Amino acid sequence: MGQIIIHEVGLRDGLQMEKQTVPTEKKIEWADALIAAGVDILQLGSFVHPTKVPQMADTDALFRHYQEPGRRPANVILAGLVLNEKGLERGMACGVDMFCMGVSASETHSRKNTGMSIAEATERIIAMGKQTVAFGKRAQVSVQSAFGCGFEGYVPPERVLGIVRKFLDAGLKNISLADTAGHATPEAVEQLFGAIHRLDPSAECTCHFHNTYALGIANCRAAMNAGVQYFESSIAGLGGCPHTKVAGGNVCTEDFVHYLHRIGIRADIHLDRLLETASSVAQYFARDLPGMVYKSGPIPTPAPVH
């Protein structure tokens, strides 16, 4: 198993689901805490039209904040989600290190989100990915709805692998499979990531799971077994829809890190800082968030000796 890399997406995938807009100063406070905790990649926001997703209106400002000298350690990668060339342009102008972009493996989802077919969207994302690399930046290309779709249900693995093959052929090796609808099972995770590894052992794989059906960390563990190194997760398990009772947020960062610490991995990440941040986020939204360990407290380490 390679090094496990934590890619925190709460400020993007988490906050975009919230009705309540978070002030830029609050986002910076949480981002600073997450950086101090030692997350490897921090996704600060997405470059979408501010009238469409008002929660993301300050994405450029956030990146510009971290362009100032001394505002962040050199070893954190700041990532941003882009949907189109305009976003890429904005992100280049404000200092994004890593551009995340994706295609849905569901025709319905693709057309609803982008107005394009899968084939059209794939072509466009590949062009954007190549441009990103040409700019000297990191490009992460993802397949959304890779394990099933809320509209279409079953998504054939061959369709996902067809898109992945096109990414790899274009030299885009940082491949993410996103389980937008929460349909993944550990079995499907091992199958799909195993297939990508056979397609190209040099692919760098990222997984992005939602805990909608209680399989979030089980899927992460399956991904670890399948050689995935990059794990997208949200502080406090943000990312569910706050207007329903469904707590289908992203895999919770601090719960996942708590697990990693239990098995002796990534002891360099400061769990206490993550737990403080999760509590701060939950307090801000004034509701219980899906994370477990910020409520229970961690298992004491080192273990008490009898």
Binding site residues, a copy of itself, CB under 8 A = 106-108, 148, 151-154, 181-183, 185-187, 211-218, 220-222, 244-248, 252, 255, 258-259, 262-263, 288, 291-293, 295-296, 299-300, 302-306
Minimum separation from the CB atom of position 194 to a copy of itself (A): 15
Instruction: Please identify, using beta-carbon distances, which residue of 93 and 292 lies nearer to a copy of itself.
Output: 292
Catalytic center residues: 241
Least Å distance, CB 166 to a copy of itself, is 20
| Helices vs strands, H then E, count in the chain | 11, 8
Check: CB of residue 258 under 8 Å from CB of residue 217.
Answer: no
Strands (DSSP E) contained in 27-153 are 41-47, 77-82, 98-104, 138-144
Q: Which residues contact 152 (CB under 8 A, 6 or more apart)?
A: 106, 107, 108, 109, 145
> What is the sign, positive or negative, of the torsion defined by CA atoms of 286, 289, 291, 296?
positive
CB of 305 to a copy of itself, least distance (A): 7
60, HSE (Cβ side, Cα atoms, 13 Å): 15
- Minimal distance in Å, beta carbon 125 to a copy of itself? 21
Nearer to a copy of itself, 118 or 205 (CB): 118
* Pairwise CA distance, residues 274 & 33, whole Å: 8
DSSP annotation of 136 reads: T
Nearer to a copy of itself, 221 or 273 (CB): 221
Would you say 95 or 240 has its CB closer to a copy of itself? 240
